[in-house]
């Protein structure tokens, strides 16, 4: 699997909110909506498991560094046995570099060591942008269960070359 990264546009994580059938209209009720957190940054592979016949919502967490990105788009292709089952394209939006989180002034005996640690963690000290995708639904038949091979591209405007490409797997399982 390929996870192509970019120094100025980094996907941090993806969350998947499963929306129960009995409560489809109340998306904000988190008690009835299990949350699946999928780390993307520095991941070797991405694998997501979702029950069949449920509604779900992806939420993307990302950071923009050093330059602005205008008109960022997302394209996803889902395949099963080499056949394209679905293609989805969304506009993510335009983003300026993530502002840095202001540090608190603290008096510390080990100030030099603390500064070194802060420099190492500097990339974690910028604001993370959040983009919620539209609610979607997994197929409900038992024949739809199984593994799907997916590729996601993030690209700017009409450019042909993506800034990030991510291969990942989706597993649709029986509802419990």
137 inside domain: yes
- Percent of the chain scoring above 90 in pLDDT: 53
The reply to whether the predicted model has a pTM over 0.85 is no
Question: Given pLDDT bands bounded at 50, 70 and 90, which one contains residue 135?
Answer: very high
Q: Regarding predicted confidence, which is higher, 55 or 29?
A: 55
CATH of the domain at 32: 2.70.50.30
88 inside domain: yes
3 inside domain: no
21 inside domain: yes
Query: Whole domain around residue 125: which residue ranges?
Result: 9-173
104 inside domain: yes
26 inside domain: yes
Counting beta carbons within 10 angstroms of the beta carbon of residue 150, is it exposed (0 to 12), middle (13 to 18) or buried (19 or more)? buried
pLDDT (tens digit per residue) in 17-37 = 998 654 445 555 444 568 889
CA distance 9 to 95: 10
2 inside domain: no
pLDDT, position 121: 52
CA distance 159 to 70: 11
Query: Is residue 158 pLDDT above 70, yes or no?
Result: yes
Number of domains in the chain: 1
* 70 HSE (CA, 13 A, CB side): 1
pLDDT, position 41: 87
Query: Of 134, 167, 174, 175, nearest to 148 (Cα)?
Result: 167
pLDDT, position 31: 45
1 inside domain: no
pLDDT, position 76: 95
Q: Are 30 and 15 in contact (CB under 8 A)?
A: no
């Amino acid at each position: 699997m390929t996870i192509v990264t970019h120094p100025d546009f980094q996907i941090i994580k993806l969350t998947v909110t499963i929306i129960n059938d009995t409560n489809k209209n109340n998306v904000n009720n988190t008690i009835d909506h299990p949350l699946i957190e999928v780390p993307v940054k520095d991941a070797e592979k991405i694998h997501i498991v979702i029950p069949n016949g449920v509604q779900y919502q992806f939420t993307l967490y990302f950071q923009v560094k050093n330059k602005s990105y205008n008109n960022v788009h997302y394209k996803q292709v889902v395949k099963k046995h080499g056949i394209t089952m679905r293609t989805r394209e969304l506009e993510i939006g335009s983003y300026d570099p993530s502002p840095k989180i202001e540090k608190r002034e603290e008096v510390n005996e080990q100030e030099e060591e603390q500064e070194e640690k802060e420099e190492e963690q500097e990339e974690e000290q910028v604001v993370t942008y959040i983009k919620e995708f539209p609610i979607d639904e997994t197929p409900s038949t038992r024949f739809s269960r199984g593994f799907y091979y997916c590729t996601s591209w993030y690209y700017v405007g009409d450019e042909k070359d993506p800034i990030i490409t991510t291969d990942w797997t989706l597993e649709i399982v029986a509802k419990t």
